[in-house]
Structure 1
């Protein structure tokens, strides 16, 4: 679902506002819905919109170390983590991709069971595991520090190929 936006607005929005404007209608469409509908909507997006959505679903939820841990665990357990990483590849953000991969390794080490299954995870996991808590704290700090550059990079990409994200008027 591409948004329609006046060219003047598109060209003057700051990066963060541009990202939100381009993906918010999709987020409203899938918020609180089942995984099946979310997958259907995702499949109907352009590659750029898919990448933007996957960035936004983590960025929009991970405001603290526990949230970061929980949402990464959640997206891995749902099988959508590869799409989150693919979004960074789409935007050419190797630094954020490396952070994602290191976070994935830490989360997998805690939650992947010997049989390949996924253990029940909870925010409280950080309270009972000092090593995991320290690792997530380092990774979240790097994530938080890298996010402004990622947002700038995404904004630049949106502006370079606007038709991938929006229909411009005027």
Structure 2
């Protein structure tokens, strides 16, 4: 599932565009496989897809999926963080991916998010997942913890994208096949 592009295209893409150019084709493959699946258990399809990616693609994919959802607002940041944390394999994969890219700042932030969510007894599995987007309206103390974390996330994610983009540029074979 390596993305194909010319050397000229690869060299001319700005960092964020290169990052997206390596993510978007993966997302399209992922979505088509989920839609095509016949069984009701799409976790098998998801795991098979994930296993076909390189380590760098896995790290990029899981972070970008989280980022695209969590960056829309503080409420979405809260809900998607709780949702991802309720899926230990995915939450762990995201942390491993950040370690892979050497992004200590975002990794520490995820650990802070995890600490807050655990303090407020957020579920550790989807079976018990009852988190709603209205929870922040109903719990001012939780809101007081989540609000600064969202601010940090907004700042840190920009640097994370830069770190990942630089990694892609310096390790192109893990993401891109150059066709001249």
TM-score under structure 2 normalisation? 0.87
Q: 2:74 is matched with which residue: 62, 65, 88?
A: 65
Whether 2:23 is the aligned partner of 1:23: answer yes
**How far apart, CA to CA, are the structure 2 residues paired with 1:125 and 1:119?**
13
Whether 2:56 is the aligned partner of 1:48: answer yes
Superposition deviation, residue 7 in structure 1? 1.1
Q: 1:74 is matched with which residue: 83, 88, 111?
A: 83
Find the counterpart in structure 1 of residue 146 from structure 2: 136
Find the counterpart in structure 1 of residue 134 from structure 2: 124
Aligned residues: 168
- Please provide the CA RMSD for this pair: 1.7
- Structure 1 runs not aligned, ≥5 long: none
Whether 2:178 is the aligned partner of 1:168: answer yes
TM-score under structure 1 normalisation? 0.92
Superposition deviation, residue 54 in structure 1? 1.2
**How far apart, CA to CA, are the structure 2 residues paired with 1:4 and 1:125?**
44
Assess, with a 3 A threshold, how the Cα gap between structure 1 residues 20 and 101 changes in structure 2: closer, same or farther. Answer: same
Q: 1:51, 1:86 within 8 Å by CA — same for their partners in 2?
A: yes
